[in-house]
Amino acid sequence: MAQSVTEWVNINNHISIIARNTGQVWLHTVDGKGKADPFAGPMTGHGTTGSTIGLLDGAINLAFAGIEQRLACPEPTLVGYVVALAGAYHTSVDTPRNLRRAAARFSELGRPEVAAYLEERALEESGHDRLALKDLRALGVPAERLVANFIPEGIRPLCKRFDDLCAEDYPIGCIGYSYCLERIAALKQQDDIDRVKAMCPEGIDATRFLRSHSSLGSEASHVEETIEFVASLPPDDRIKVVRETYESALLLADGYNYELHKSDAELLEDMERAMGESLPYGLGSSPPVNLKSGARPAA
């Protein structure tokens, strides 16, 4: 019989996530007094993929649980989708450069296996910003001018977080950040893509980024590879990755919510003010789509 492995990470001094290789996951409250607590100190054993999934997804769930009551769920609209694509561009444009910076640091630190993993990820993520630009162009939006002048407010802290993590002296947290974004993207299904397609004018394909960052694209395999890699890391690294997954999920939940609470009129005003020109734009040879009159689609 396979040996049972238990991993745990203290997230914020009060709560620890405990996960077994069998798939069990639970939260543990740290009270700091009374009888001996076997989970009070940091874990020191080896990792397994089963327990690593539990810790990483447990961290995301814990972060989202705090905001669940306040999560906005507006009807998707084309304007909302354009804003989401602008956000998708900003969260992907610097990813390869940032990952290579972190990889170079791990090479200096004598950790060639981490450097190699990050180099590979940098390669896999290259060009994803261009998918978002193509989608924006397909919708008739002047993509380059939009992204040069406009970054969704809720996305800004996420981009800064990733820049900062990759520039740290010990940049292992960037793996937690990437896991968080990819895991959430991988939840998107064919239905989500169909819903966006239905919002777009006939014959317009504006779902390149969405397809690639969904269960149908490369994200599912990126998530699996990351879980395996994290499970192979020493315990101190696994703890740092899980904690960063939690912190990134908090930022992500907050950021999503920020834009989702805005009306189409407010989102349009944000973009137009930033660009110094007005929307809407026609969509190529199709009848022009008036972004101002659309009911709400999402990336």
Contact call for residue 222 and Fe ion (CB under 5 A): yes
Among 15-23, 34-42, 117-125, 165-173, the segment contacting Fe ion (CB under 5 A): 117-125
CB of 238 to Fe ion, least distance (A): 20
Q: Which residue has the tokens 């990351």?
A: 226
Among 67-75, 187-195, 220-228, 259-267, the segment contacting Fe ion (CB under 5 A): 220-228
Among 10-18, 136-144, 190-198, 216-224, the segment contacting Fe ion (CB under 5 A): 216-224
Tokens matching residue 269: 């005003």
Residues contacting residue 102 through CB under 8 Å, at least 6 positions apart = 118, 165, 166, 171, 174
**DSSP 8-state symbol, 76:** P
Contact call for residue 90 and Fe ion (CB under 5 A): no
Q: How far is CA 140 from CA 93, 152, 167, 221, in A?
A: 21, 19, 36, 32
Find the residue with minimal CB distance to Fe ion.
Answer: 128
Contact call for residue 111 and Fe ion (CB under 5 A): no
Among 49-57, 82-90, 126-134, 286-294, the segment contacting Fe ion (CB under 5 A): 126-134
CB of 213 to Fe ion, least distance (A): 6
Among 18-26, 31-39, 181-189, 265-273, the segment contacting Fe ion (CB under 5 A): 181-189
CB of 185 to Fe ion, least distance (A): 7
Give the nearer residue to Fe ion in terms of CB position, either 222 or 240: 222
CB of 292 to Fe ion, least distance (A): 31
Rounded CA-CA distance 132/128 in Å is 7
Q: Which amino acid is at 181?
A: L
CB of 124 to Fe ion, least distance (A): 6
Q: Answer positive or negative: Cα dihedral of 21, 118, 207, 278.
A: positive
Tokens matching residue 229: 């890699």
Q: Which residue has the tokens 């956000």?
A: 87
Residues 182-211, interacting with Fe ion (CB under 5 A): 182
Residues contacting residue 59 through CB under 8 Å, at least 6 positions apart = 9, 11, 17, 176, 180, 242, 243, 245, 246, 249
Rounded CA-CA distance 215/186 in Å is 4
CB of 95 to Fe ion, least distance (A): 7
Contact call for residue 128 and Fe ion (CB under 5 A): yes
3-class DSSP state of 134? helix
CB of 89 to Fe ion, least distance (A): 11
3-class DSSP state of 17? strand
Give the nearer residue to Fe ion in terms of CB position, either 239 or 298: 298
| Contacting positions for Fe ion (CB under 5 A) | 125, 128, 182, 222
